[in-house]
Amino acid sequence: QWWMPDTGGANIPALNDLLSVWGMAFSDGLYEGDFTLAGREMNYASGCSIAKFPEDGIVIAQTFKDQGLEVIKQETAIIENVPILGLYQVPSEGGGRIVLYGDSNCLDDSHRQKDCFWLLESLLQYTSYGVTQPSFSHSESRQSPPTGAGYTLPERMEGNHLHRYSKVLEAHLRDPKPRSLPACPHLSWAKPQPLNETAPSNLWKHQKLLSIDLDKVALPSFRQSRPQVRPLSPGESGAWDIPGGIMPGRYNQDVGGTIPVFAFLGAMVLAKESICLLAKPPLEGPGISSSAAVFIMLKSALGAGLLNFPWAFGKAGGIGPAVLVELGSLIFLISGLVVLGYAASISTQTTYQGVVREICGSTVGKLCEFCFILNLFMISVAFLRVVGDQLEKLCDSFYPNETLSGGTSRQHWFMDHRFTLSVLCLLVIFPLSIPREIGFQKYTSILGTLAACYLMLVIVVKYYLRTDHVAKHEHHRSPGVSSWASMFSVIPTICFGFQCHEACVTIYSSMANRKLSHWVVVSVMSMLFCLLIYSVTGLYGYLTFGTDVAADILMSYPGNDVMVIVARLLFGVSIITIYPIVLLLGRSVLQDICLSAKHSSILTTQPCEKWMRVTLTTAWVVVTLVIALCVPDISDVISLIGGISAFFIFIFPGLCLVCAMETEQIKPRARSCLMTWGVITILCGAFIFGQSTTLAILELWYNL
């Protein structure tokens, strides 16, 4: 008799009353399962079937599991030819079109796994313009419409009280009757009063307001202190009548004349605030500016990867080979950003995974999700490894005598970096990662950019202030150091350092000006700024320590240096605040995969959601901590991350370019060139992934 909505639902008897005019009805069956419609994978989550439909309509049926039978009788049954979609054109002139679909879950909750927005667009095309997709009219799943025979239509429970909360029924205790339709309101438009009739007609936007001489504007007199509000008399349309045309009703000329004045004064304030923008027209529509887009790209790229660049310069064989590898990689980095922006524009998706899934198909989309989770997981390991290195040096700074003399002493167990890192994860990182929303920590992500810029300055200053003027970088190197293999071995470090491609789709979708040429400029500028910061850091770090530089540049400096201690603290605090954000991204994708695999509404309840969130967070923190404690060197972790990054920088953009060229209408020569470049990008990414991942695994195996 009472209904408490939990995950949604529909009043089937009321819907059937509405649809009975056209000979349509829903059943009370409950079905679920995966199916394919128009070549797209779909999910039917606790939806009902169509029990009755006109014989000249189009009906699509699928094979599902009877969820109602499973819940009520604990039995499993697979039902074939379950009618779920119906399209009908009313034969009378101007009769319109009707569409029935038994499940809305793919539009609200389950759209995170398998959405049906494309289906909604197709149905709107049908209802608005009568355009029927051939995949519907000629579908293999099409069947004759059900006549209602064999179905017992659901009825209202006797004595129910749902009518008390109905928007269409009167709240009577007996025999609920439909409410009378409300009268349509009407608007009385205010009479326009131009403020400056003598102003030139070709002024642009705010300049019309700024051309007004306030001393010569005759403002209307206020004849009343405030508008009078009165209810409408019976028979008048609308709910209230406010003089001046603010609300639906009649217009009062006396008070209505003051309304444009208020609008004018408010506009003058806005014009004063935006006067600096009049030199160039502002971009139409909401969105971020170009400078903001470049800054966000920098913030996404700069971070812990900077610590490894001086080591990469030494590994590549010196400054020259390292810079050449950087410049060569920069071509592919910018190309990937441009391709992803183009793919986002033609797919209308706002996430990296969504773009890949929309253009390359669901199989490649699932691979992208797996790589996305693995990449976030390894980034978490790298973050903890960096924090562990800084804790080790900070603990050494508490023993200044031994540090200065070069001797070693047995530290207390509570000063061991493995213990301090574990305690930090337990008391700080884990509590910060548990909440469902961590919006307040997103603003602290700028600390990573500040730490990177500060580290670059520290390395440059330390190079010029050093007391040892011996050129440490002039070490004897074996012929193999500067070989091609050594140069290729530093590409993972470059990929990890410049990696901002996962965020670039969202950044592009948030821009006010989404022209491709404009996006090319943003991509080039952001990558050039990154190149400058990374190159300066790698150059001066390598000049300071030569091939003796540690994989983490901060580990090469003494533990009691104040400037370096500040850099360590900045990196440590930034990583502690960014780690929960990375964990949240990975956890959300894992939760979506779990929900998609189970297809169970039980997982969406509050207790189960909390249990799954805590479990995933605990497992994520524990496993990444154990790996970070076991990995001997951050360079090994970065090599693995760089190999995975090859998917996001090379392989997936190349696949998007190749797949997009198969459908886009461009010149044959341009299509051939772009597809060739896409294939080259894919092959380079596959080579980098295989080479870097294999070397990283072998080095880890050797070191362990």
pLDDT at residue 164 greater than cutoff 70: no
Q: Give a yes or no: residue 427 inside a domain.
A: no
**Domain shared by 89 and 210, yes or no:** no
Neighbours of 657 (CB within 10 A): 25
- Rounded CA gap, 267 and 648, in Å? 46
Q: Give a yes or no: residue 67 inside a domain.
A: yes
Task: Kindly report the CATH number assigned to the domain that includes residue 468.
Answer: 1.20.1740.10
Q: Are 497 and 529 in contact (CB under 8 A)?
A: no
**486 Cβ neighbours under 8 A, 6+ residues apart:** 315, 316, 317, 321, 480
- Mean predicted confidence (pLDDT) in 209-237: 45
pLDDT at residue 651 greater than cutoff 90: yes
**Domain shared by 505 and 617, yes or no:** yes
**258 Cβ neighbours under 8 A, 6+ residues apart:** 220, 222, 244
pLDDT at residue 366 greater than cutoff 80: yes
- Rounded CA gap, 226 and 222, in Å? 9
Phi-psi region of 414 (alpha: psi -120 to 50; beta: other; left: phi over 0): alpha
Q: Give a yes or no: residue 187 inside a domain.
A: no
pLDDT at residue 305 greater than cutoff 80: no
- Rounded CA gap, 498 and 371, in Å? 17
* CB-based burial, 522-532: b 16+ in 10 Å, e otherwise: bbebbbebbbe
Q: Give a yes or no: residue 26 inside a domain.
A: yes
**Domain shared by 257 and 393, yes or no:** no
Confidence tier at 299 by pLDDT (50, 70, 90): confident
**Domain shared by 367 and 320, yes or no:** yes
Q: Give a yes or no: residue 419 inside a domain.
A: no
With CA atoms as reference, report the closest residue to 84 among 67, 104, 111, 55: 104
Q: Give a yes or no: residue 319 inside a domain.
A: yes
**Domain shared by 93 and 135, yes or no:** yes
Sign of CA dihedral 585, 587, 590, 595: negative
Helix, strand and coil percent figures for the chain, each rounded to 5: 60, 10, 35
Report the run of H or E that residue 285 belongs to, with start and end: none
Confidence tier at 228 by pLDDT (50, 70, 90): very low
**Domain shared by 45 and 151, yes or no:** yes
**Domain shared by 359 and 507, yes or no:** yes
**pLDDT the model gives residue 86:** 95
With CA atoms as reference, report the closest residue to 683 among 638, 646, 639: 646
**pLDDT the model gives residue 60:** 93
Q: Are 575 and 304 in contact (CB under 8 A)?
A: yes
Q: Give a yes or no: residue 143 inside a domain.
A: yes
Helix (H, G, I), strand (E, B) or coil at 611: helix
Q: Give a yes or no: residue 184 inside a domain.
A: no
Confidence tier at 454 by pLDDT (50, 70, 90): confident
Residue 219 is part of which domain span? 206-277
Domain count of the chain? 3
pTM for the full model? 0.56
**Domain shared by 294 and 265, yes or no:** no
- The residue from 229, 253, 277 where one domain ends is 277
**Domain shared by 358 and 491, yes or no:** yes
**pLDDT the model gives residue 479:** 43
**Domain shared by 509 and 650, yes or no:** yes
pLDDT in tens, 271-290: 333 333 333 333 344 578 88
Percent of the chain with pLDDT over 90: 16
Average pLDDT in the chain: 75
With CA atoms as reference, report the closest residue to 492 among 297, 312, 335: 312
Q: Which of the given ranges, 166-170, 344-348, 476-480, has the highest pLDDT on average?
A: 344-348
pLDDT at residue 307 greater than cutoff 60: yes
pLDDT in tens, 520-578: 999 999 999 999 999 999 999 999 888 888 888 888 888 778 888 888 888 788 778 78
pLDDT at residue 472 greater than cutoff 70: no
With CA atoms as reference, report the closest residue to 336 among 655, 62, 66, 551: 655
* CB-based burial, 393-428: b 16+ in 10 Å, e otherwise: bbbbbebeeebeeeeeeeeeeeeebeebbbebbeee
- The residue from 243, 277, 311 where one domain ends is 277
**Domain shared by 151 and 214, yes or no:** no
With CA atoms as reference, report the closest residue to 65 among 79, 83, 81, 48: 79
**Domain shared by 359 and 497, yes or no:** yes
- Mean predicted confidence (pLDDT) in 344-368: 87
pLDDT at residue 665 greater than cutoff 90: no
- The residue from 142, 165, 188 where one domain ends is 165
